[in-house]
Amino acid sequence: MLLLIACICVSFDGFNFALAQKTYNGYKVYNVSIDTDQKLHFIQSFEDTDGYDFWLRPYPFGHFHIMVTPELQPGFEQELKSKSVEFEVLHDDVGLLLEKNTTVHSSKRKVRSVSHEEKAAAEFNFQYFPRYDEIVKFMENLVLNRYAKLINIGSSAEGRPIYGIEVSKYANNPVFLIDAGTHAREWASHVSALYIIQQVIENEEEFANKLNLVIIPCLNPDGYEYTHTTNRFWRKSRSQQSNRMCPGVDLNRNFDSHFGEFRSDTSNVCSRLFAGKRAFSEPESAALRDTILAYKPIAYLSIHSFGGYLLYPYGYTKILPQNWQTLDRIAKLVVERAKEFSGTEYKYGSAARLLYKASGASDDWAMDKGNVSLVFTIELPAYSDRAFIVPEDKIMTLVQETFETFLAMFNEIFNYTKSYTFSRT
């Protein structure tokens, strides 16, 4: 029996028998070149298959980045060759890459409570990726200023409170709502949202005079913690499912927007794209839904990582929303600012047209059922070729660039609102 349990622990990454960090020793990431429909269909047959993790999936053609377990690598390479698919090994040992990237001094991870006279912003210097308790403490320290307050929008499946920051000066100001950290492994999104919070609060008069802001930096705290303690590439939430060895739901497939129709799975609980048994089955997605309905924002931005895209609805259809020209104009100005600031080139457009069809996402729901006028999703750029593994010495570059894109979007949203009269009643 003990031997059987040991084998189960190795085979099923999702079930947390013991909090031992998965090493990913010997895992490889392949750069696979796809340039025909035949090759595309072939490579799609591996997607969401156990042992294969698609890190980058362009549409329809381009360079796919796929992480493969050691035991599947020989057969995978053989099949690629048999189909005349060009490939190269991008990383030959993901475990070693993680080990090199996550070595930090414990002194970096101290975020203490401060008095009113002290400046909390100096406590976290964006040199590493904080744990969830540090994220919360950081926000608590920052809300010593006039217009900012900590808000609790709900609790996760494991009972962690989901916090955000509200910066509000005038009750009737239009609201710009931002979330991050829907997918647990996308650490770049969490830390970018924290930097936006910091900069907004440090300059709150400038921002609060124009728009009210609600920023939720970690919608999926259970999954985020799990990526720190057990499995760095965990994507979903951590709710218990019928198969206890496969917990969690892809929160960005759990919204009531053509639920379960495209690039989502409602039956296989072990799938990375498992959407749940029904829309809003998860407390995290329900909390965001209720927050959007309560604040009635004029604009919504969901921060994800990675790819270098600025997307607007829809994801479930290639039909464009009625105000697509406004969305496209704003997106164009934002990506131009990103290129001007750092040279990074974002692609922009509707999600289904630029990438692929996917349904049940928060952005589509926000537009169609949350009645939000201006809706965007940003996929932050990859830094070097490490995808989710952003080098710690690149964090400040990442967050500063993301803030500039936010600032450009903020100003365009404010300009948009000047032509309209809004009421939150």
- The CA-CA-CA angle for residues 278, 283, 288, to 5°, reads 100
**How much is the pLDDT for 48?**
75
Dihedral angle of Cα 57, 62, 63, 64, to the nearest 10 degrees: 30
Q: CA of 403: how far to CAs of 125, 331, 407, in Å?
A: 15, 15, 6
Cis peptide before 314 (omega within 30 of 0): yes
Q: What is residue 322's three-state secondary structure?
A: coil
Q: What percent of the chain has pLDDT over 90?
A: 61
Specify the residue for token string 């990237």. 101
Encode pLDDT of 238-277 as tens digits. Answer: 999 988 889 999 999 999 999 878 777 777 898 888 999 9
Task: Give φ, ψ of 36 to 5 degrees.
Answer: -140, 160
**How much is the pLDDT for 199?**
95
Q: CA of 240: how far to CAs of 121, 248, 274, 339, in Å?
A: 37, 6, 13, 43
Q: What is the C-alpha end-to-end distance of the chain, expressed in Å? A: 61
Give the pLDDT band (50/70/90) at residue 351: very high
Cis peptide before 321 (omega within 30 of 0): no
User: Is 308 or 105 the better-scoring residue by pLDDT?
Assistant: 308
The predicted model scores a pTM of: 0.87
**For the ranges 175-179, 261-265, 305-309, which has the lowest average pLDDT?**
261-265
**How much is the pLDDT for 17?**
38
Does position 151 have pLDDT exceeding 60, yes or no? yes
Q: Mean pLDDT, to the nearest integer, of 384-406?
A: 85
| For helices 395-417 and 324-342, angle between their N-to-C axes, nearest 10 degrees | 140
User: Is 20 or 47 the better-scoring residue by pLDDT?
Assistant: 47
Encode pLDDT of 70-123 as tens digits. Answer: 999 999 999 999 999 999 998 999 998 888 776 543 444 544 444 433 444 446
For residue 229, give the amino acid letter: T
Exposure of 324 in the CB half-sphere (CA atoms within 13 A): 15
Q: Mean pLDDT, to the nearest integer, of 322-349?
A: 93
Q: Are strands 175-180 and 299-305 parallel, antiparallel or unpaired?
A: parallel
Q: Mean pLDDT of all residues in the chain?
A: 86
Q: Where are the alpha helices (DSSP H) in 115-220?
A: 132-142, 187-202, 204-208
Does position 12 have pLDDT exceeding 50, yes or no? no
**How much is the pLDDT for 385?**
63
Q: Which residues are catalytic?
A: 379
Q: Which CATH architecture has domain 116-417?
A: 3-Layer(aba) Sandwich (3.40)
Specify the residue for token string 């660039």. 401
Distance CA 183, CA 196 (A): 19
Distance CA 138, CA 132 (A): 10
**How much is the pLDDT for 99?**
81
**For the ranges 53-57, 181-185, 295-299, 382-386, which has the lowest average pLDDT?**
382-386
Q: What percent of the chain has pLDDT over 70?
A: 87
Q: Is 331 left (phi over 0), alpha (psi -120 to 50) or beta?
A: alpha
Distance CA 201, CA 389 (A): 28
Encode pLDDT of 183-223 as tens digits. Answer: 999 999 999 999 999 999 999 888 999 999 999 999 999 99
Domain ranges of the chain: 25-101, 116-417
Superfamily designation of domain 25-101: Metallocarboxypeptidase-like (3.30.70.340)
**How much is the pLDDT for 104?**
46
Does position 62 have pLDDT exceeding 60, yes or no? yes
Domains 25-101 and 116-417 share a fold: no
**How much is the pLDDT for 394?**
86
**How much is the pLDDT for 102?**
60
